[in-house]
Structure 1
Amino acid sequence: MEIDEEHIKVVESRTKTGLVFMLILILSVTGCAGLRGSATTGDYSSSCKEPVVIKSVNGTFEDVWESLKMALNERGLVVSSVSHVGEMLDRTGKALNRTKQIYGQAKVMEFCSAVISRNMLERNPHFISFCPYQIMVYTLPDNENRVYLSYRRLIWRDSKDRDVLEAVERLLEGLVNDVVQEYGEYK
C-alpha cells in the first residue's frame, strides 16, 4: 500500500485534533481549565486550587481549640461532634506496633449551620456529602507551639450550584481567619 502526502496530512490533522480534545477533556475533568474564574475575582470555584486550606498560628493547642469554639459560638453555631484523631492514632499505633508519632495533638471539630445547610441541600441533596462541616486543628510533634487549622474546599463537578457551596467555604474561611487574627499567622 502506497501512502501519499494527502493521507499523511489527514492523519496528522486527526492526531492533533485528538490530542487537543484529550487535553481539553483532562483539564475539564480536573477542573483546571481556567474557565471558572480566578481567586482574584473572589470566585470560590476551586478550579486549580489546593483541595485543602491550611493555616498555622503561634499558640497552644488548647487555646487555639477554645478560640475556634468561641468563633463558632459567636456565629450562633455549636460543635456537633469532635473526632479525637491524635488519640486514635496513638491508640491504634500501639495495637499495630507502629511507634511513629504523627501529631502532637489532633482533633477535628464538626458542626453545622441550619440556614447554610438547608440552602445547600435544597439546591442539591447530594451535597449531604459535605455535612457536617469540619475544621481540623493539630500540632506536629516537632513544634507544639505551631498550631495548624485546616479545612477541605467543597469541590463539585458542576459549577451551576457553586454559590451555595461558596457560603460554606466563606463560613469555614471566616472561622479560621478569626483564629489567625487573634494569634497571628505563624512565621
Structure 2
Amino acid sequence: MRTFFWAGLACLATFGAAQAQDTSVVYPFDGSFDDAAFSVENAIIGEGLVIDYVSHTGEMLNRTAGDVGSDVKLFEAADIYVFCSAVVSRKMMEADPMNIAQCPYGIFVAERAGEVMVGYRTYPDGPMQDVQSLLDDIAREAVGLD
C-alpha cells in the first residue's frame, strides 16, 4: 500500500510532466471536484468492485507543505481511490505472479488551477493491459465519455 501511495503521489505531483512521459492517462471533468469524486466512486462500484481506501493526497500535501519547506500549493483537492479486481488480478498474476507489484489499482481525482481531472497511471504491455483497460473504462464512465 505504501508503494502505491508514493507512486500515486508522484503521479499527482508531476501531473504536467507525467502526461508528457506517458505515465498516466488523464481526462478532464466538466464539474466540481466533489462531483468528480462521486462519479468515480459510482463508476468503481458500478463495475462490482469495492473501494479499499481513499487516499486524501491533496489534503496531506497542503497540510505538510510548510513542514517540508515548501509554499507551493499543488492541488486544490486530490484523492486516490484504491481498489482491486479479483478477476483481473488473478488473470494478470497467473500470467506472472510478480505482477503483484502492480496491485492495488488506483484512480485519482484532482483539481488544479480550476481544472478538475480524473486519471490513472499507465501499465506495461502484456497482461497488465487488462488492468489498464478496466481503469480506462472506469475513468471514461466517471467523466461521461461512455
**Interval containing the TM-score (normalised by the shorter chain):** 0.7 to 0.9
Structure 2 counterparts to residues 42-121 of structure 1, below 5 A: 50-121=22-93
Q: Which is bigger in relative contact order (C-alpha 8 A, separation at least 6)?
A: 2
For residues 121 and 67 of structure 2, the distance between their equivalents in structure 1, rounded to whole angstroms, comes to 29
Q: Which of these residues, 173, 178, 186, is aligned with residue 136 of structure 2?
A: 173
For residues 129 and 154 of structure 1, the distance between their equivalents in structure 2, rounded to whole angstroms, comes to 11
For residues 51 and 106 of structure 1, the distance between their equivalents in structure 2, rounded to whole angstroms, comes to 18
For residues 144 and 38 of structure 2, the distance between their equivalents in structure 1, rounded to whole angstroms, comes to 14
Matched pairs, number: 126
- Asked if 1:149 corresponds to 2:88, the answer is no
Superposed displacement of residue 94, structure 1: 2.2
Superposed displacement of residue 85, structure 1: 0.8
For residues 96 and 73 of structure 1, the distance between their equivalents in structure 2, rounded to whole angstroms, comes to 36
Superposed displacement of residue 81, structure 1: 0.9
Instruction: State the TM-score, normalizing by the size of structure 2.
Output: 0.80
Identity of aligned residues (%): 33
Superposed displacement of residue 74, structure 1: 1.1
Q: Given residue 180 of structure 1, which amino acid in structure 2 is its aligned partner? A: V
Superposed displacement of residue 129, structure 1: 1.4
For residues 87 and 69 of structure 2, the distance between their equivalents in structure 1, rounded to whole angstroms, comes to 45
For residues 68 and 120 of structure 2, the distance between their equivalents in structure 1, rounded to whole angstroms, comes to 28
Q: How has the CA–CA distance of structure 1 residues 97 and 165 changed in structure 2, closer, same or farther, with 3 Å as cutoff?
A: closer
1:108 alignment partner, SS class: strand
Q: Given residue 56 of structure 2, which amino acid in structure 1 is its aligned partner? A: H
Q: Which structure's CA Rg is the greater one?
A: 1
Superposed displacement of residue 166, structure 1: 2.0
Note if contact 2:110-2:116 (Cα within 8 Å) is conserved in structure 1.
yes
For residues 106 and 38 of structure 2, the distance between their equivalents in structure 1, rounded to whole angstroms, comes to 15
For residues 62 and 144 of structure 2, the distance between their equivalents in structure 1, rounded to whole angstroms, comes to 31
